[in-house]
Amino acid sequence: MNPKFLIKLSKTPIAAWLRSAHSALYRASGGKIGNKTFGCETFLLTTTGAKSGKPRTAPLLYLKDGKRFVVVASHGGSPTHPAWFVNLTKHPAATVQIGREVTKVRARKADSQEKARLWPQLTKFYEGYEVYQSVTKREIPVVILERV
């Protein structure tokens, strides 16, 4: 799918509904539906809301790096960070669901050396990340989720 189209789509009200539906289908099917997005591995990340303190779930593309998971806070090239990233900066404890398996993780932003190593792998995995970075002034964070 065209990354520029996805940027426009991510900023529409239907995007939130699509993420919610994606998460519900993923959970209900134990990951049989929704485990791939744009041909990339997808999991459910559940964070604690920065303001509400309530659980918040987002379906995300992820890359495995050894025993760690790596995600990109692209928000479709938006000028603001995605809510899940804001949540993790306040509450780094989270869970990821892959299939029916739920794993506790602790999040941290990749340092500059880690990002330099991971970014080429991430953009090969999903070319949209390069496009997203080119349309926003903010540096898109790479987040490492380590198993607890």
Ordered by start, the domain boundaries in the chain are 3-147
User: If pLDDT is split at 50, 70 and 90, which confidence band does 17 have?
Assistant: confident
User: If pLDDT is split at 50, 70 and 90, which confidence band does 22 have?
Assistant: confident
**Euclidean distance between CA atoms 104 and 125, whole angstroms:** 24
pLDDT at 148 over 80: yes
Superfamily of domain 3-147: Electron Transport, Fmn-binding Protein; Chain A (2.30.110.10)
**Euclidean distance between CA atoms 24 and 59, whole angstroms:** 10
pLDDT at 91 over 70: yes
Indicate the Cα dihedral angle 44, 62, 6, 91, nearest 10°. Answer: 60
User: If pLDDT is split at 50, 70 and 90, which confidence band does 1 have?
Assistant: low
The better pLDDT of the pair 6, 54 is held by 54
What is the pTM for the complete model shown? 0.88
DSSP state string for the chain: --HHHHHHHHTSHHHHHHHHHHHHHHHHHTTSSSSEETTEEEEEEEEE-TTT-SEEEEEEE-EEETTEEEEE--GGG-SS--HHHHHHHH--EEEEEETTEEEEEEEEE--HHHHHHHHHHHHHH-THHHHHHHH-SSPPPEEEEEE-
Length in residues, the chain: 148
The better pLDDT of the pair 12, 60 is held by 60
